A and B are shown apart, each in its own frame.
Chain A
Amino acid sequence: MSEVVLDVRSLSVVFPTQTGDVRAVSDLSYTLHRGETLGIVGESGSGKSVSSLALMGLLNRNRARITGEAVLSGRDLLSLPSDQMRDVRGKDVAMIFQDPFACLHPMHRVGDQIAEAVTAHVKVSKSEANKRAVDLLDAVGIPNAKSRSRDYPHQFSGGMRQRAMIAMALVHNPSVLIADEPTTALDVTVQAQILKLIERVKDEFDIGVILITHDLGVIAETADTVLVMYAGRVMEVAPSRELFQAPQNPYTWGLLGSMPTIERRLDRLVAIEGSPPSMVAVPPGCAFNPRCPYRFARCTTELPELKDVEGGHADRCHLSDQSKREIWAATAAERLGATG
């Protein structure tokens, strides 16, 4: 594989509160390569967004205890002083967010907001910065980029705003682009366009993309590698195709089982029983055990290791490989049966 651009090692984020420590992210490790899309999936509160905000230095360090390291071109982002981190943000690592309606400043012109991202890191004249903004708007598919750059965000549609956010992120050819639920707030047809656009700029600009989502459909379409998170921990990590064909973890089974497909019309949506744990009192042992249909005594006392299965596939579960294979085969058969 190509060059590693981001190497995250045992990242943990803890928010001390009056009712106890909230362990938002525990011991998260992954590597991201140039031109790779890493998908991070999980329910709300699984720590997928917090881990990225920690990388961006956007968590208040007075209120969050961040440990571990995240190495980007030889520098550990987590231990950089805040003024150096400021220079990394938007230059080496850029981020786009969920709600493009709320993410652009309502009172500044779209072009100016992008130009501001230019001048935040390099000394150029305002007209040069504006020209760069127009070029990028054009590159992300905004028609009449020059005149539209003089518009205010409320004159843009949701999809156009997300395009503008992407243009803003590309200003300094970052090595890493973090997309935090970039399509959740958009119409389905626009979602597909935005995903295609992210895919395209990833190749054109040779960026590593971290795509955070709770939508497995999005993952299936775009991600090369998938990281499944639950209660702040990685449950399973695998190449995308592997994950969909031979998932190892009961939680992943639950996620896949709750995803309706065209072949498999469900009369009722299948949900994973129960709800995610409170992050103040994560269950002992495997955090998923109270909701897991396959749990046994060991699951409630001992946290399973993240074990390598094969070829970059790793999984955190006490079940033996044998029983996993059997259960997945049975589930798969059942799903096929439901189609017939």
Chain B
Amino acid sequence: MVVLIVLLLTYAVFYLLPAGDPALRFAGKSPTPESIALIRHRLGLDQPWYVQYGKFVKNFVTGDEYGWPGLGYSYVNGVPVLEQIKERTPRTLLLIVGAAAIWLVVGVSIGVLSAVKRRTVADRAAMGFVLFGISAPVFWLGLMALFIFWSKLHWTGGTGYVPITEDPRGFVSHMILPWTVLALLFAAIYARMTRNTLLETLGEDFIRTARAKGLSEREVITHHALRASLAPIVTMFGMDIALLVGGAIITESVFNIQGLGWLAITSTFNQDLPTVVGVVLVGAIAVVVMNLFVDIAYAFLDPRVRYA
């Protein structure tokens, strides 16, 4: 249902709202009259909008001549949209997974540390890191990281993407900087949120109960406080992952990873409408799917949700 509405909105935004002939926009920057006629026929632009939308949905659901789900053909690049997306998605996903692992571990640990050692030097240092992480622009951080670790120290690989199947070492060496840079911003945000949620939880009565039964402070923090603070972290995590699927644009650009974000940008510049629609749909579906995951995770985390 949600996916259908997403399809309708995407369709409306890209096909109906812009002024001018959609076929012209689909054809790319310098179309020939033949290609325009072909596109117009393929898109069924001589038919009313609901037939067009129906065809758009039908293609998406049942697939077209290029496979499932049917996303059409990029006339600019001369390849099916689906093929481009299939090529770009793993890069973005691997970028996100690596970064997410780093920022979860680093962010949550720093948050816990700084909540437990509140108002100490460690806490101040952690909050200083948070401020830096949130303020530092990703493109600047990315370029500085490349300059120091690649160009000067030669510790890591440079820009570009090395497929993991071809050269695992090269893959890691090229991904470590983008992972870290992307993770830094999120680690900062997660550290701050973990700290705040945890401090709030530590004021709860059930924490006093846990202490009253003689648990060690370590057990109180991990088994009781952190457990109750997980839900908001999981929610934010799900949303951030989903947004990054279509939105790791700056990181992908700085490190020339050419994933989905890069595909969205280049196809926008080239007025490659079918590709833009494809990427937007993938991003929207990622949001829907992650929402579902978050809901399922909630049921695991909180028994009150499970039985309601």
Contact = CB atoms under 8 A, between A and B. Distances in A.
A56 B212 CA distance: 7
Interface stretch (B6-14, B202-210, B245-253): B202-210
B152 interface: no
Contact of B208 (A97, A108, A154, A155): A97
B304 A102 contact: no
Contacts of A107: 227-228, 301-303
B227 A89 contact: no
Contacts of B206: 102-106
B204 A102 contact: yes
B78 interface: no
A205 to B, nearest CB: 16
A102 B210 CA distance: 12
A87 B303 contact: no
B211 interface: yes
Interface string A30-57: 0000000000000000000000000010
B212 A58 contact: yes
A106 B201 CA distance: 12
A117 B211 contact: no
B195 to A, nearest CB: 18
A97 B205 contact: yes
A99 interface: yes
A275 to B, nearest CB: 26
**Centre residue among B210, B213, B215, B304 by max chain A CB count within 10 A:** B213
A6 interface: no
Interface residues of A, number: 29
B224 interface: yes
Contacts of B216: 86, 120
Contact of A168 (B205, B213, B304): B213
A99 B205 CA distance: 8
Given A86-B216, A99-B205, A155-B307, A106 B302 contact: yes
A76 interface: no
A91 interface: yes
B303 to A, nearest CB: 4
A39 to B, nearest CB: 20
A121 interface: yes
Given A106-B303, A107-B227, A87 B214 contact: yes
A116 B205 contact: no
A90 interface: yes
B232 to A, nearest CB: 14
Interface string B212-248: 1111100100011001100000000000000000000
Given A105-B227, A107-B302, A152-B304, A58 B214 contact: no
Q: What are the 7 closest A-B residue pairs judged by CB atoms, nearest first?
A: A90-B214, A90-B213, A102-B205, A117-B213, A89-B214, A152-B303, A105-B206
Given A102-B204, A107-B301, A108-B224, 4 more contacts: A89-B214, A94-B212, A99-B205, A102-B205
Interface of B: 204-206, 208-216, 219, 223-224, 227-228, 301-304, 307
